[in-house]
C-alpha cells in the first residue's frame, strides 16, 4: 500500500540530517548507540526515512530535522540520527542494514509485512503509549495489522478520488455523476463535445493496481474478501471489469490510447492540459494542478459506485516500523509518541497534500479553512480501503496486476481469465 504520490521525487536525492550533528555531536548509523552511550547514559536512535519532496528545496529533510531537534531538546539524553533516502532507495538500504546486523531502530517506508513475518519488529503496543495507539484512524490501524497484531504505524495516508474538469462539464451540459449509468451519459456528452479523453482509464504498467482497485471497490468487490483474504477473481470483480470493457472502452469513452498502454502519469498530464475531462488520482494531484499554474478548474469526489450507494474509497498509506532492540525500546517509544503529536502529523500532511493519520489531527484540519483543499479526502478517510500489504506476496501480486489487467478490458479480452491468472499468483 503505497501512498503513492511521490511522483516527481528525484532518484538521486539522498539527504542525511542528524540532530546530533546539528548540536556538534557525532553518531554513526552503524554505531547504534555503542559502549560510549551505555557508559554516559545517552542513547542514539537511528532512523531511515523516505523523501516525499519534489525538489531539493522541498523535501523531507527539513521535517525530520525539526522533529529530531525538538525531540532532543525535550529528551537531551537521546540523540537522533536520521538518514533520508529517495523512495526507490529506501527498501534496498534497509534490507542491506538488516542483513549486516545493523537494523535501524525506526524505519519510515511503504511496507511492513516482510519484517513482521520474520519477527523482527515491535508491535505497536510494545512501544506506543495507549493514547497514541488509540489515536490512529481505525481503518489505517487495521491495515497495519498482521495476525491481529499491529506492526505498521501509519505515517501518511492518501485516498484516491475522481477529479473532473468543471469547464468541460459545463460546456457539455453535464453534472458530476453519482452512478455508473450517469458516468456513461456524461462521458458520451463530453465525447460529443470533442473531448479527447472523456474519462481516462490508465491500466498501464505504472500504477494500474490503484486504478483497478478504485473500480473494483466501486463495483462492490476488491482485492480481498470480508475476512481480508485474497479474492481477486470474485464474481463482483469479473462483473466490474466486464462493465468497463463493454461500456467505457467499448464505446470509445476512454480516449485514443488503449487502457493497457496508458500510464497514470500520462493520464494526469492529459487532465492538466485539458484533454481529459475525468481522471482518478491521489490528493497530491492538487499540488500538480497548482504547480501547473492552476489553470484547470476542477472538482473532486469519490468515484461513483455502480448504484450510487456509498462504497469504500481506495487509499494508500506509508508506515513507520520499529525494529526490536531492548536496549533502546524505551527511547524508541518516547520518540514515536513525540512524532505522533498533532503538530507534526498536521505539518507532514499539509505540506504534501496528504491526509493525517490520527483522529485528532484530522478533526483539526477539517475545521480549518486553510486545509479546505483536503476536505474531500478527509471526509472519506474513515471509509478508506488500502492495499493488502499484510500479505507478504502483495508486491508480486501488484506487479502481476500491472502487467495483466489491461488485457481484461481490451477488445475481445476475457476479464475472468485475466483475473484468474492474477489470483493464481496470490495463492
What does the pLDDT look like over 322-369, one tens digit per residue? 999 999 999 999 999 999 999 999 999 988 888 999 999 999 999 999
Read off φ and ψ for residue 83, nearest 5 degrees. Answer: -110, 125
298: left (phi over 0), alpha (psi -120 to 50) or beta: beta
Q: What is the pLDDT of residue 31?
A: 39
Q: What is the pLDDT of residue 294?
A: 61
Give the span between the Cα atoms of 21 and 32, in whole angstroms: 15
Domain ranges of the chain: 14-157+316-385, 161-302+393-426
> CA-CA-CA-CA torsion for 305, 306, 311, 314, nearest 10 degrees?
-60
DSSP bridge pairs for 159: 315
Do 208 and 202 touch, CB atoms closer than 8 A? yes
Do 7 and 265 touch, CB atoms closer than 8 A? yes
Q: What is the pLDDT of residue 57?
A: 44
Do 106 and 335 touch, CB atoms closer than 8 A? yes
CATH class of segment(s) 14-157+316-385 = alpha beta
Which ranges of the chain have pLDDT less than 70?
1-41, 54-58, 293-294
Give the span between the Cα atoms of 53 and 352, in whole angstroms: 8
Q: Could you say which architecture CATH assigns to the domain 161-302+393-426?
A: 3-Layer(aba) Sandwich (3.40)
Q: Do domains 14-157+316-385 and 161-302+393-426 have the same CATH topology?
A: yes
DSSP 3-state assignment of 265?
helix
Give the span between the Cα atoms of 180 and 75, in whole angstroms: 55
**What number of other Cβ atoms are within 10 A of residue 74's Cβ?**
9
Q: What is the pLDDT of residue 23?
A: 38
Do 381 and 157 touch, CB atoms closer than 8 A? yes
DSSP bridge pairs for 44: 79
Do 389 and 113 touch, CB atoms closer than 8 A? yes
Q: What is the pLDDT of residue 194?
A: 97
Amino acid at each position: 500500500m503505497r501512498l503513492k504520490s511521490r511522483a516527481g521525487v528525484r532518484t538521486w536525492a539522498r539527504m542525511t540530517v542528524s540532530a546530533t550533528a546539528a548540536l556538534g555531536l557525532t553518531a554513526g548509523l552503524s554505531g547504534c548507540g555503542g559502549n560510549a552511550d551505555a557508559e554516559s547514559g545517552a542513547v542514539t536512535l537511528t532512523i531511515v526515512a523516505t523523501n516525499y519532496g519534489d525538489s531539493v528545496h522541498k523535501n523531507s529533510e527539513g521535517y525530520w530535522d525539526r522533529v529530531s531537534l525538538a525531540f532532543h531538546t525535550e529528551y537531551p539524553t537521546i540523540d537522533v540520527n536520521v538518514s533520508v533516502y529517495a523512495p526507490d532507495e529506501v527498501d534496498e538500504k534497509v534490507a542491506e542494514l538488516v542483513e549486516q546486523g545493523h537494523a535501524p531502530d525506526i524505519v519510515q517506508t511503504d511496507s511492513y509485512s516482510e519484517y513482521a513475518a520474520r519477527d523482527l519488529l515491535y508491535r505497536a503496543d510494545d512501544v506506543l503509549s495507549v493514547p497514541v495507539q488509540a489515536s490512529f484512524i481505525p481503518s489505517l490501524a487495521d491495515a497495519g495489522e498482521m495476525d491481529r497484531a499491529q506492526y505498521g504505524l501509519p505515517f501518511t495516508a492518501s485516498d484516491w478520488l475522481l477529479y473532473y474538469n468543471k469547464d468541460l462539464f459545463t460546456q457539455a451540459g453535464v453534472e458530476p455523476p453519482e452512478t455508473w449509468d450517469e458516468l456513461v451519459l456524461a462521458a458520451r456528452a463530453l465525447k460529443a463535445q470533442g473531448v479527447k479523453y472523456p474519462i481516462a482509464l490508465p491500466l498501464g504498467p505504472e500504477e494500474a493496481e490503484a486504478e483497478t482497485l478504485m473500480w473494483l471497490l466501486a463495483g462492490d468487490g476488491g482485492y480481498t474478501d470480508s475476512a481480508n483474504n485474497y479474492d481477486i477473481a470474485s464474481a463482483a470483480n469479473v462483473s466490474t471489469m466486464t462493465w468497463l470493457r463493454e461500456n467505457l472502452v467499448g464505446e470509445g469513452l476512454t480516449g485514443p490510447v488503449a487502457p493497457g498502454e496508458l500510464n497514470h502519469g500520462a493520464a494526469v498530464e492529459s487532465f492538466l492540459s485539458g484533454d481529459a475531462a475525468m481522471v482518478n488520482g491521489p490528493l497530491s494531484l492538487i499540488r500538480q494542478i497548482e504547480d501547473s499554474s492552476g489553470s484547470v478548474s476542477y472538482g473532486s469526489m469519490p468515484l461513483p459506485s455502480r448504484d450510487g450507494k456509498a462504497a469504500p474509497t481506495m487509499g494508500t498509506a506509508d508506515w513507520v516500523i520499529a525494529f526490536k532492540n531492548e536496549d533502546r525500546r524505551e527511547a524508541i517509544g518516547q520518540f514515536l509518541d513525540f512524532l505522533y503529536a498533532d503538530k507534526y502529523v498536521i505539518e507532514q500532511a499539509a505540506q504534501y497534500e496528504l491526509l493525517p493519520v490520527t483522529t485528532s489531527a484530522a478533526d483539526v484540519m477539517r475545521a480549518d479553512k486553510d486545509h479546505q483543499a483536503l476536505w474531500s479526502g478527509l471526509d472519506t478517510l474513515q471509509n478508506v480501503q488500502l492495499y493488502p500489504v499484510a500479505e507478504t506476496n502483495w508486491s508480486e501480486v501488484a506487479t502481476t496486476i500491472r502487467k495483466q489487467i489491461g488485457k481484461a478490458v481490451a477488445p475481445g479480452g476475457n476479464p475472468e481469465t485475466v483475473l484468474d491468472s492474477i489470483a493464481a499468483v496470490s495463492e
